[in-house]
Chain A
Amino acid sequence: MNTQFFIDYAWIIPLAPLVGFLINGIGTFLKLPYVRSKTVVHTIACGALLLSFIFAVGVFLHLSSLEPEARSITRYLYTWLQVGSLKADAAFLLDPLSSVMMLIITGVGFLIHVYSIGYMADDPSYSRFFTYLNLFCFAMLLLVMGDNLLMLFIGWEGVGLCSYLLIGFWFKEKANAQAGMKAFVVNRIGDFAFLLGMFLLFWTMYDYGHASVTFKEIGQHVGLIKDVEVGGWPVLVLVGILLFIGATGKSAQVPLYVWLPDAMAGPTPVSGLIHAATMVTAGIYMIGRLNFVYTLAPEALVVVATVGAVTALFAATIGFAQNDIKKVLAYSTVSQLGYMFLGMGTGAYAAGIFHLMTHAFFKACLFLGSGSVILGMHHEQDMRKMGGLKKYMPVTYWTFLLATIAIAGIFPFSGFFSKDEILWKAFEAGGHISSWYYVLWGLGIAGAMGTAFYMFRAVSMTFYGELGARAHEVPAEEASHGHDDDHGHHGHGDHTPHESPKTMTFALSVLALLSVVGGFLGIPYALGHFFHVPNFFEHWLEPVLNHGGGHHGGHHSVPPIEYGLMIFSVAIALTASYLGYLFYTKRQDLPKKFVAKFPKLHALALNKYYVDEIYQALVVNNLLRLNNFLSAFDAKVVDGAVNAVGSVVRVYSRVMGFWDATFVDGLVNGVAQLVRQLGRALRKTQTGRIQNYLYVAMLGVVILMIWRML
C-alpha cells in the first residue's frame, strides 16, 4: 500500500471534522430539515472523525516506513500571513509527536463520538452537540498539526472556545453557563502569559537575526539566545515559565486548575474527550513540541516539575472526599496532568507524552463509564446514592474496573508503565540534576497512593454493596435537588439501573482494552531487555525529543534500585487500592471514625481546600471592587466633566439665545414696526378727495414761489 497518498492528503485530517462541523452547524443554525434526523447528524459527525482517523493511521504508517531522521514532513498549504519578518504558513508538521497526538485525538475522539450517539440520544440539541464536538476536533487537530507557534495558538484558542461552548451546553441552567464562563476566564489568564512568552521568544530571536515562529527554525536557532538575559533572568527561562503559565491554564495545574472541576457541568462525553483525553493535554504537548527551549532552560523545567508534582498530590487529596463521581474523576485528571508535567519537568518528555496517551485511554474510559453509570442511574451523579451497580451494568463495571486498575498503576496495566516511568525519571533526576527532585518524587509517590485509594473508593461506592445503601448519608438539603447531569426526562417509569446502549458499551470496551494493553508500547528498558522488547514509544518519539532525557542510550546497565522502586510503587498502589476497597465495602466504619476524629481535615478536602473561596475573596472580590471604583469614577468624574462642559455650553447658548431674541430680532421687528407705523400714518393722507390733493399741489406751488422770491 502506497502510504505517500496519506501524506499528500494529510490536510484531510483536520478538514474532515471542519466539514462535519459546517454541514451540521449550518443545518442547526438554519433549522434545515436534515438535522432533524439523528442518523444523518451522527453519521456525518462520526464519519468525519473516522475519515480523520484513517488518514492519521496512514500518516503514522508512512512515517514509520521512513528512516527515523527523515520522520519530519512539513506539508505546506499556503502562506497564511506575512508581516515584515513574521511569516506564518498554513502548514502541517507531520512527525512522530504530532502523529501520536493525531492518533489519540482522532481515535479517542471517534470512540467518544460513537459513545455520544447513545449518551445524547434523548437530547433536543443533538445536532448542536455534534456540531461543537466536530469543531473541537478540528481545533485540536490544528493545535497539534500546525508547524508554527501561531497555528498552535489558533488551535489553542479554538479548543478553549469549544470547551466553553460545551461546558455551557445546557446553558439554561445558570450554574452550567457560569462554569463555562469560569473556564473561559481562567484560561484567558493563562493565555495572556502564553502570548507574552510567544512575543518574548519571537523578539529575542528577531534581535539575533532569526525571527521565526516555525518550530523547526526555532529549534535550529534557539541555541543562539541561550545566554541572553532580560532583567537578570535568562530569557529562555522567562519564555519557558510564561508558556508554562499558559499551560497551567489550559492543562488545569495549580494555581489555575479551578475551572476543570466546574467544567464537569458539561455533558459527560465532553468531559471525557475535552477535559480528560485531549484538550487539557495541550499544555503537555506544547512543552513536548518546544522541548528544545525547555532543555536550555533548566530552571523553567524545575518550575514545571514542581508545579506538576504539587498538583498531582494536591488534587489527589481533594479526590478523597468528593461524592460526585464526575468530580472525583475531574480531580483525578488534574492530578494525572500533574504527573505528566512532572515527567516533562524532569526532561523525560517521552515519558510525559506516554502518560498523556495512556491517560487518554483510561481516563476517557473512566469518564465514559461514569457517563454510563449516570445514564443508568437516571441522571444521578452522587455516588452515595449508587452502590451495587455491578449486577445491573456488567459491561460498565468491568471496563471501569480495568481502567481503574490502569490508573492506579498496577502491573501490567498501562498506567503502571507510564506513571512508573515518570516517577523513576524523577528519582533519577534527584541524583543527576538536583536533590530537589527527590522531594518531587516523594510527592509523586504520595499522589500515586492517593490515586489508587480514591479510585477504588469510587469503584466501591458505585459498583459494590447494595443499591442506595448509603443514601442516608446525603444531607437533606442536597438530596432534594441532586446533581442533575441532564435535564428533564426522568419519566423512564422503572427506576432500576440499566445497562447502556451498544454504542456506549462498544466505546467503553475498546477504551478498556487500550487501557490494559496500551502500556506495552512503552516497556522500560529495565523490564524489556529480558525479552528483547524495545521501548517502542520512546524510540518513536526520539527524533523529536532527542534533546531531552539527558542519559538516553545509557540503558546498558540497569541500577537495581529501579526494580526496587517499581516493586515499591506497585506495592503502594496495591495497598492503597485494597484500603480504598476495604474502607468503602466491609469496613465502612473506619473512614467514618477518621472523619469523626479529624473533622477539620475532612471538611478541608471536601471543600477543596477552600481554593475557590480564597480566589473569590482575593481575586474576584478585589476585581469587583476595582470595577465598582472604576464605575464610580466613570459616573462621577468622567460623567461630571462631560456634564460640566454641557452646562457651560447650555449657559452660553442661553445668553446667545437672549441676545438673538432681544437684539437681533428686536432690530428686525423694529424695522418692520417702523414701516408699519409709517404706513399707518401716511394712509391718512390718502383721503380720496381730489381737492385735498389739489391743496397740497397748490401749497407746493406757493412754497416754491416763496422760495424763488427769497
Chain B
Amino acid sequence: MISIQHYLLVSAAIFVLGLLTVATRRNALGILLGTELVLNAAALNMVIFGRYSNHMAEGSIYALFVIVLAAAEAAVALAVGLMIYRNFKTIDTVEVDDLKG
C-alpha cells in the first residue's frame, strides 16, 4: 500500500536533488534546472497534502499556481541568462561577479 510517506519521500528526494543542483552547479542553466526541481517538489507536496486532507481542490490549485509561477520564472530567468551571456560571453556564475562587494 502506497502511503503519504512514500509520496513525501519522493518529493523530499526531488527537493534535495534540486537544492543540490542549485548549490553545486556553476552553469546558470543548471541552476535554473535545479530551481525547477525544487518548485516541482513543492507543487508535489501541495497535491499530496491536498489529497490526504480532504482539500483536493485547494492543493491542486496551489500546484497550478506553482506551475504558472515556475513558467514565469523560467521565462524571466532565461531572459536574464541570455542578457548575461550577451554581456559576459559566458553563463558561468563564478565569472559573473561584478556586484561583489
Contact = CB atoms under 8 A, between A and B. Distances in A.
B81 to A, nearest CB: 13
A698 B93 contact: no
Interface stretch (B19-27, B50-58, B68-76): B19-27
Contacts of B22: 691, 694
A557 interface: no
Scoring B22, B23, B93, B100 by chain A CB atoms within 10 A of each residue's CB, the highest score goes to B23
B1 interface: no
A688 B22 CA distance: 15
A220 interface: no
Contacts of A695: 23
A694 B23 contact: yes
A28 B23 CA distance: 107
Contacts of A688: 97, 99-101
Interface in A685-710: 686-691, 694-695, 698
A691 B100 contact: no
A251 B100 CA distance: 106
Contacts of A691: 22-24, 93
Interface string A662-691: 000000000000000000000100111111
B9 interface: no
Interface residues of B, number: 11
Interface string B89-101: 0000110010111
A388 B93 CA distance: 134
B101 A689 contact: no
Contact of A687 (B19, B24, B100): B100
Given A689-B94, A691-B24, A691-B93, A698 B19 contact: yes
Contacts of B93: 689-691
Contacts of B97: 688-689
A686 B94 contact: no
B101 A683 contact: yes
Interface in A285-315: none
Interface of B: 19, 22-24, 31, 93-94, 97, 99-101
22 contacts: A683-B101, A686-B100, A686-B101, A687-B100, A688-B97, A688-B99, A688-B100, A688-B101, A689-B93, A689-B94, A689-B97, A690-B31, A690-B93, A691-B22, A691-B23, A691-B24, A691-B93, A694-B22, A694-B23, A695-B23, A698-B19, A698-B23
Top 3 closest pairs, chain A to chain B, by CB:
A688-B100, A688-B97, A686-B101
Interface of A: 683, 686-691, 694-695, 698
